[in-house]
Each structure stands twice: as C-alpha cells, then as structure tokens.
Amino acid sequence: MTLGFAEIALPVPMRGHFDYLLPEGMVPCIGARVLVPFGRRKLVGIVMRCKSASDMPTDKLRAVETLLDEEAVLSQLFLDWLNWASQYYQHPLGDILFTALPVNLRKGLTQDALQKAWQLTDKGQQCDPQDLKRAAKQQALLIALKPGPQLHQTLSEHYSAAIFRALEEKDLIEAANLAVAAKLDWPEHISLAEQPRPNLEQSLAISAIAHQNETFRCFLLEGVTGSGKTEVYLQAIEPLLRQGKQVLILVPEIGLTPQTVRRFQLRFGLDVGILHSGLTDNERMQVWRQARSGELGIVIGTRSAIFTPMKSPGMIIVDEEHDGSYKQQDGWRYHARDMAVVRARLENIPLLLGSATPSLESLNNALTGKYQHLLLRQRAGQAKPVQHKLLDLKGQQLEFGLTRGMRQRIQAHLQQGNQVMLFINRRGYAPALICHQCGFVEECHSCDRSYTLHRSLNKLQCHHCSDAKPIPHACAQCGASPMQPVGMGTEQLEQGIASLFPGYQAARIDSDSARGKQKLHQLLEDINQGKHQLLIGTQILAKGHHFPNVSLVVILDVDGALFSADYRAAEKLAQLITQVAGRAGRAHIQGELWLQTHHPSHPLLQDLLNNGYQHFARLALKERRFAALPPFSYQALFRAESNHAAQAHDFLLQVRQLLSPGPEMAAIGPIPALMEKRQGRYRMQLLLQSQQRTGIQQQLNRLMGQIEKLPLANKVRWSLDMDPQDFT
DNA sequence: AGCACGCCGACT
DNA sequence: GTCGGCGTGCTC
C-alpha cells in the first residue's frame, strides 16, 4: 500500500486540513514542512498525516512541490499538544502550528545550524601543495582542507584573513556552510556558585519539588514578595540540570531583565537562552535550535517562549503566573500558563507556578489539591513587612491629588533621606480637556473617548487608537477659551510634585517616559543610585523592580477599580497593591503603603489591608463561587466588530440563535463591549458561560463550522476568546 | 489571510 | 479614455 496523499496544515484562518498528492518517491515525516501550491501562491505547510486515499476527488488535488525538512520541525508531542490547543481554543490548527514556530521556519528557511566554513574548489583538489611552497601558510591551509571542509572558526585560530583571501583569489578554496554537531556536555560544566542557605519554608518547598520532579505534577509556589521564590527555583532545578535535563522558565514581559538572567547564569555557570520581543528572527532561531538539540540547559523567555522545544525537558517554571501578559490578546488568544500545564502533562515533567499574588484560577486548583500548594510567608533577609493604611479622601482638600496630611508625611519621609513612590494609573497630563463655558469635551471620533492631554508632547492623544491632534486654543463648540484640563495623570503629578517639594528630584516612569528598553533601565538605575527621591508612575512601577530605599508608597486613587464593570478588577487591584507594596522597604526601614479612597470601609479594601492578599484571594474565591463566575464556571467570549454597529450585533444574535439553549450553558448578549467603539469600529460581545467546560466545548465543536458559514461572518471582524481575561 | 476578479468614480 | 477604490469569493 503506497501512501500517495498527505494532509497538510497551512497558515490560513480556515479549519480543517488540506489534502495533497505526494509525488513519486517523496516520503515526508509527520511534522516536516513542505512547500505546496495554494491558489495562486506557494505556502509552507506542515505534514500532519500520510495516507493512501483522500476524500477529495483526485483531480481536484494538487501535488506537494518540495519537501523542506528531512527531520520534523514539530515533534509528535508538540503536534498532539497543539492539536489539543486547536480544539480547546477553537482556533484553526494551521495558524496555531505556525505561531508555535520561529519566523524563519514559517518562511521556509532551513532549520539546520550552518556555520561559515571553507572547502577546496575542484581546482584546489587537483592543485599540488608543492606549487605553493613559497607561501608556507597557504600551503598548510590547502593541506588542512584536503580531507574535507573545515569551520572558519577553527581555521581562523591558525590562519589570518589574508591567507583565506589569497587562496580564494587563486580559486583554490571557496566559502561553504557546514552543519555543526550539538555540544551536549554542559551538565559536566555546571559550576555551582555559593548559594544562600534556604529558610525553613524554602527548604520545605525545595524538597517537596525534589521528591516529585520525575513526573508531571503542578506546584503553586505562593510566596510573598521578597520571600525568595527565585531561590526556590534555582535550588529546585539544580538536580535536574545535573542530570542533563533542561528547564524552561517563563517570565512576564516586563520581568525579563538582565539581572534575572544573570542570576541563573551565575548560579550554574551555564549559558542561558533568552527569548524576548527585542530579538531578531535569527537570534530566536538560534535559541530554538539550541534548546531543541539540548545544547541549552536553561531557557528564559516571555509568553511565546512556551513553544521552545526541548530535547530532554526537566521542568517548566511560570514566574508571576497571575500576570496578564501571559494571555495573547489577538489572533490565537492562548494563555501561556494554561498551555504550560498541558505541555508539562504531555512531557510528563513538573510545572512550577510562582506568584506573590496567584490568580484565583491557580489558587483554586491549589486549594482543591489539584496543584500542590507551597507557601512562603516570610520575607527573606529580615525585611519588615510593609504597613498598609487607608486614607479617607471624603471632604479633604486635595493638592495634586494629595491631602495635606499626606503631603506632610511625604515631606517627612523625604527628610529622612528615603524615597517616596506615588502611583497613579493614568499617563499624560490630564485624561480630558473640557470647556468651562459649555461643558464640551474633545473626543476621538474613532473611539468616542476623551483625548488625553499631553503637555510634554503639546498634543491631545487618544489612548485607544493612535490618533493625536494639536491642543485647541478655544472650545470647538462655543468658542470660549481656554479649555480646561480635568483629572490628573502622571505628567501633571510630576509637575505638581516639583512645586510641592522643591529641592527634591522627581522621576516619572510610565510607558511614555520609558519608551525604549534602554531608557527604562537607565531610569531605574538612576533611581537606585539615589538621583531621584520621588518616583511617579503607572503599572510599570509595580512590576519586577525592587526599590530598597522607598519607604512610602501612595496609591492616589483606588476607587476606579472598586466599582468596575469587570469582575476581575478587584483581583487585579489587590494584586497591584500587593505587588507595589513588595517593591518597597528593606531591613531597617519601616515601609508604609497608603491607599487613598472615598470608600475606606469597602470590604475588599478592609480585607486586603487587615488580612493580606492570601486572605483576600480566598474570600474573593468564595464570592466567585457564589456568583458562579470563573474559576467556578467557564467562559467563552465571541467578539465582533464592524463599521456598522447593527452588523456586529446581528452576527452575534445569529450565533446566539444557533446555540441550543439549556440550563447547562448561559448566553449573555449581544451586548456592547466595555469599549463600545474603538478605532472607528463598533464592538459587540456575546458571552457564553457554563458550569462545565464540556458544555461550551461540545456546542462549539458542533457550531463553529456553521458560524463560519453565516453570511455576516465575512462581513464583520469576529473572534472567539476562550477564558477571556479582558472585556474591553 | 492573500490574491484576483469585478464593477463604479476622479485623473493623466 | 484608464487607474484604483474595496466588496466578494476561493484556495486541497
């Protein structure tokens, strides 16, 4: 029986595979890439299966043009894993397969590691070395190359560039590319740097992991900031590395700092593969290849690093597992943490999730015993816990968002030579510009949201699309002037702070001031050098950077999150507060965290402050259970957007009508998205919610084909978001 | 997603 | 007269 047909997955947004004829003698392996004709173009595809017959009439089939790989680029395990993902996320397999590959491989480039080498030309082969006896070096090189090509890197130790050039000009040698064998001897070269003695809790965690590091097991390492989670990672992976097993570490986008990488490098004296958005395609390809061939013991990367193959996987670690950057927010909306769980199960290796503020999903899994729960409650190095306090804003006179008492407190901390961090979740100068005469607000016509005033750019900027315009001198509606800023952003606070605390230097850290990686690092460096005493910033301040000289942290306004339409807002606020608090203080400075609010008696704030995140999260879980919200139910969100609001609405209505109603699955919508209009398009949502995952899954399996065939399906831009995190 | 085909408006 | 706008349809 000959296998003359192949199922090929292609990078097109269509579900189902494509059958092709295999030319005589072409025997591709599963997971290899091929070049196929598709319509009027040529595409790179992945061989999913070879078979002896096709459902398609043979005369409709076209033939595979080229086999691009001898060896599969996706292992059977990866194919199984990504097939699962295609089912779970209801996303076309081809698209998933290609997102999981480095760009070079998507483009059909070779997967081989080729290094520059030299070989003899035909003329060189025939040339008698005696002819070169007047040029000893050239003669030696010619003789060295007689047995076969050699790497340039090796040769260049003995021969200078002039020698190569001379022989090349005589047409005796030519450049070549040579595949190199992987160097797998790194486990023998581990040189362990001196490591701190773990405290009791760390020891317990390390040994718990060590006892089950041979098979699949999920651990949730819940450790307060500064409790030494990284030390647990380091000591937990050591025995695995010594056995030659590799470790993949995921970190949030902002958390991948040179310091993090250096810590792993220095501890084991090994090369660490790094994957982040700043790399070139070739650099990514290199890490991918080295990880797959087993040359790298440790790979650290952001979200998409979860697709790094490993020859001998030993463990996957997801640091700050609650972080929102693990969820892809367009195209295939996968969650890297969830993908990690399934991968670890298939690879049969342990998965270690770490966080000071675990997501309610992971916490629930830990509390129900699905994950093993490891707790670190002590801050390592005797750092005192930060005191949390509430400040009632009601009836208070504010100057730049600060009460008189708070201004005095800030002054006191500055006078003691400490740093103060002010946290405000709005960048720019002011979130709106309003006419004092008629109340007119400048709004972006694409998004129906007020423009943010940026004094430093001298512009009005829409934070929801890229639109910007000059600051108007007068009201566009009634002509009165000038327009007035309302509300406060980081820019205004920075300016105000300078006038309130003359003599102290303020640093503003937000995505405007920290544009470009170098800039952020420079700012952080300056801060820890003490060049600035007042730190003003947004979310960025809360992530990954430690400020030991900060003794006072003020979150200017927490009320927005307390009354949000997004049920996750409270959880996110609690995570933010806890993370910010963890950035401050050290052994002999008592850190203080102040939350300014109009609702000091709000139960969420009270619980968080009196009992900490751990308690808050457990309470929040109870509320979620009561309200049948995730993780006690499962959600899928259809999003649709269109230039015509009615089309997006009608499409989702038709989707809803296709669903069979039942008690096991609720459908909410179509309703406008939290941001109803964005970049000129109207956005609607349809939320599916079920107590059982299978409830949603089965219906979607049945319906996605029909949904795609709806006439409106090609008129509106729509997508499905499994386990949505964000309802904007 | 691309890419072509196709049918209506303002320009050399 | 054409260049080009993007609606529609198809790709094993």
What secondary structure does DSSP assign to A192-210, as a single string? Answer: PPP-PPP-HHHHHHHHHHH
A293 and A331 share a domain? yes
Q: Which of A602, A631, A601 is nearest to A618 (CA)?
A: A631
Residue A203 inside a domain? The answer is yes
Angle at A342 between CA A341 and CA A348, to 5 degrees: 90
Strand C neighbours with CB under 7 A? A 12, 14, 16-20, 36-39, 56, 60-62, 714-715
Q: What residue has its CA nearest to the C1' of B3?
A: A40
Reply yes or no on whether the pLDDT at A583 is more than 80. Answer: no
Q: What residue has its CA nearest to the C1' of B4?
A: A40
Backbone angles phi, psi at A170, to 5 degrees: -80, 0
Nucleotide nearest to A8 (CA to C1'): C12
A240 and A313 share a domain? yes
Q: CB of A272 within 8 A of CB of A234?
A: no
Q: Is A52 exposed, middle or buried (0-12, 13-18, 19+ CB in 10 A)?
A: exposed
The spacing between the Cα labelled CA in A716 and the C1' in B9, in angstroms, equals 26
Q: Which of A691, A728, A711 is nearest to A568 (CA)?
A: A728
Q: Is the pTM of this model over 0.75?
A: yes
A169 and A141 share a domain? yes
Nucleotide nearest to A95 (CA to C1'): B1
Q: Which of A91, A74, A95 is nearest to A29 (CA)?
A: A74
A330 and A249 share a domain? yes
Q: CB of A242 within 8 A of CB of A187?
A: yes
The spacing between the Cα labelled CA in A13 and the C1' in B1, in angstroms, equals 6
Q: A712 is written with which tokens?
A: 């409106």
From residue A543, how far is each of A222, A241, A253, A575 by CA, in Å? 17, 29, 10, 11
Give the β-pairing of A443-444 and A449-450: antiparallel
The spacing between the Cα labelled CA in A43 and the C1' in B3, in angstroms, equals 13
The distance from CA A384 to its chain's CA centroid, rounded to whole angstroms, is 32
Give the β-pairing of A634-642 and A681-690: antiparallel
Report residue A203's pLDDT band, with 50, 70 and 90 as the boundaries.
very high
The spacing between the Cα labelled CA in A657 and the C1' in C8, in angstroms, equals 26
How far is it, in rounded angstroms, from Cα A366 to Cα A373?
5
User: How much is the average pLDDT of A469-482?
Assistant: 85
A570 and A702 share a domain? no
How far is it, in rounded angstroms, from Cα A482 to Cα A53?
76
Reply yes or no on whether the pLDDT at A52 is more than 90. Answer: yes
Quickly list DSSP for A498-557. HHHSTTS-EEEESTTTT-SHHHHHHHHHHHHTTS-SEEEESGGGGSS--BTTEEEEEES-
A152 and A219 share a domain? no
- Sequence ranges of the binding site of A: 435, 438, 444, 447, 462, 465, 475, 478
Residue A30 inside a domain? The answer is yes
Neighbour-count burial for A134-151, b at 16+ CB within 10 Å, e otherwise: eeeebbebbebbeeebbe
Report residue A700's pLDDT band, with 50, 70 and 90 as the boundaries.
very high
**Secondary structure element (H or E) that encloses residue A248, with its range:** strand A246-250
Residue A479 inside a domain? The answer is no
Least reliable range by pLDDT among A300-309, A334-343, A441-450, A695-704: A441-450
Q: What residue has its CA nearest to the C1' of C8?
A: A714
How far is it, in rounded angstroms, from Cα A371 to Cα A318?
14
A167 and A195 share a domain? no
Nucleotide nearest to A40 (CA to C1'): B3
Q: At what angle do helices A360-367 and A603-626 cross, to 10 degrees?
A: 70
Q: What residue has its CA nearest to the C1' of B1?
A: A12
Residue A302 inside a domain? The answer is yes
* Tally of domains in chain A: 5
The spacing between the Cα labelled CA in A40 and the C1' in C4, in angstroms, equals 22
CATH number for the domain that contains residue A257: 3.40.50.300
Q: CB of A558 within 8 A of CB of A605?
A: yes
**Secondary structure element (H or E) that encloses residue A697, with its range:** helix A693-709
- Sequence ranges of the binding site of A for Zn(2+): 435, 438, 444, 447, 462, 465, 475, 478
Q: CB of A356 within 8 A of CB of A582?
A: yes
Who contacts A454 (Cβ-Cβ below 8 Å, separation ≥6)? A428, A429, A460, A461, A491, A512
How far is it, in rounded angstroms, from Cα A522 to Cα A380?
27
More confident residue, A48 or A665: A48
Report residue A83's pLDDT band, with 50, 70 and 90 as the boundaries.
very high
Structure letter (DSSP) for residue A678: E
Q: Of A87, A106, A125, at which residue does a domain stop?
A: A106
Q: CB of A187 within 8 A of CB of A241?
A: yes
Looking up tokens 């704030």 gives A605
Q: Is A129 helix (H, G, I), strand (E, B) or coil?
A: helix
Looking up tokens 């290094």 gives A115
Residues present in chain A in total:
728
Q: What is the pLDDT of residues A218-248, one digit of tens each?
A: 999 999 887 899 999 999 999 999 999 999 9
Residue A432 inside a domain? The answer is no
Q: Of A106, A132, A160, at which residue does a domain stop?
A: A106
Nucleotide nearest to A38 (CA to C1'): C11
The spacing between the Cα labelled CA in A709 and the C1' in B5, in angstroms, equals 22
Pick the most confident of A117-131, A187-201, A501-515.
A187-201
A590 and A638 share a domain? no
Alpha helices in A584-685 (DSSP H): 603-626, 645-658
Residue A441 inside a domain? The answer is no
Nucleotide nearest to A36 (CA to C1'): C12
How far is it, in rounded angstroms, from Cα A300 to Cα A308?
10
A12 and A86 share a domain? yes
Q: What is the pLDDT of residues A640-652, one digit of tens each?
A: 988 888 889 999 9
Q: Of A620, A653, A680, at which residue does a domain stop?
A: A620
The spacing between the Cα labelled CA in A44 and the C1' in B2, in angstroms, equals 14
Q: What is the pLDDT of residue A278?
A: 87
Q: What is the pLDDT of residue A290?
A: 95
Residue A613 inside a domain? The answer is yes
* Mean pLDDT over the full length of chain A: 89
- The residues pairing with A373 across neighbouring beta strands, listed in sequence order, are A220
Nucleotide nearest to A331 (CA to C1'): B1
The spacing between the Cα labelled CA in A291 and the C1' in C7, in angstroms, equals 47
Q: Which domain holds residue A698?
A: 634-722
User: How much is the average pLDDT of A562-576?
Assistant: 89
**Distance between the two ends of chain A, CA-based, in angstroms?**
55
The distance from CA A223 to its chain's CA centroid, rounded to whole angstroms, is 21
The spacing between the Cα labelled CA in A690 and the C1' in C1, in angstroms, equals 62
Who contacts A538 (Cβ-Cβ below 8 Å, separation ≥6)? A423, A424, A425, A426, A427, A490, A509, A510, A511
Angle at A278 between CA A272 and CA A284, to 5 degrees: 55
Angle at A167 between CA A165 and CA A172, to 5 degrees: 135
Nucleotide nearest to A14 (CA to C1'): B1
The spacing between the Cα labelled CA in A480 and the C1' in C5, in angstroms, equals 41
Q: A245 is written with which tokens?
A: 């097993």
Nucleotide nearest to A39 (CA to C1'): C11
Reply yes or no on whether the pLDDT at A77 is more than 90. Answer: yes
Q: Is A317 helix (H, G, I), strand (E, B) or coil?
A: strand
**Secondary structure element (H or E) that encloses residue A423, with its range:** strand A419-423
Q: What residue has its CA nearest to the C1' of C7?
A: A715
Q: What residue has its CA nearest to the C1' of C9?
A: A714
Cα torsion A515, A585, A235, A363 to 10°: value is -80
Nucleotides of chain C touched by protein CB (<7 A): 8-12
Strand B neighbours with CB under 7 A? A 12-14, 39-41
How far is it, in rounded angstroms, from Cα A617 to Cα A622?
9
Report residue A720's pLDDT band, with 50, 70 and 90 as the boundaries.
very high
Whether the link from the prior residue into A670 is cis, omega within 30° of 0, is yes
A230 and A369 share a domain? yes
Looking up tokens 């790497």 gives A151
Q: Which of A69, A75, A67, A64 is nearest to A100 (CA)?
A: A75
A259 and A157 share a domain? no
Nucleotides of chain B touched by protein CB (<7 A): 1-4
Structure letter (DSSP) for residue A598: S
Q: What is the pLDDT of residue A632?
A: 96
Residue A475 inside a domain? The answer is no
Nucleotide nearest to A717 (CA to C1'): B1
Q: A442 is written with which tokens?
A: 């400048």
The spacing between the Cα labelled CA in A634 and the C1' in C9, in angstroms, equals 36
The spacing between the Cα labelled CA in A461 and the C1' in C3, in angstroms, equals 36
Q: What is the pLDDT of residue A381?
A: 65
A130 and A152 share a domain? yes
